[in-house]
């Protein structure tokens, strides 16, 4: 299986896979799921900021300077 060419989608797919693995391991070892969810939220916040920032970034800096 090849990853998509979109940098944002590829990054999101990798992080989703890591999240799934982390939750599965946490459930296997009977971790506190509230604490695990809070940890995943803090880990995923930079992903959301990156995707939003890259999505709404201006592609032409000359337009900003006018």
Long-range contacts of 6-13 (CB under 8 A, 24+ apart): 7/54, 8/50, 8/51, 8/54, 8/55, 11/47, 11/50, 11/51, 12/47, 12/51
The torsion defined by the Cα of 50, 55, 57 and 63, in degrees rounded to 10, comes to 180
| Average pLDDT taken over every residue of the chain | 77
pLDDT tens for 43-59 read: 888 877 877 777 666 55
The pTM assigned to this predicted structure is: 0.61
Reading the block at residue 21, the tokens are 């693995």
29 Cα distance to chain centroid: 24
């Amino acid at each position: 299986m090849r990853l998509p060419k979109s940098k944002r989608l590829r990054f999101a797919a990798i992080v989703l896979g890591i999240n799934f693995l982390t939750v599965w391991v946490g459930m296997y070892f009977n971790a506190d799921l509230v604490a695990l969810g809070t940890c995943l939220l803090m880990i995923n916040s930079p992903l959301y900021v990156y995707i939003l920032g890259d999505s709404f970034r201006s592609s032409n800096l000359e337009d900003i300077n006018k």
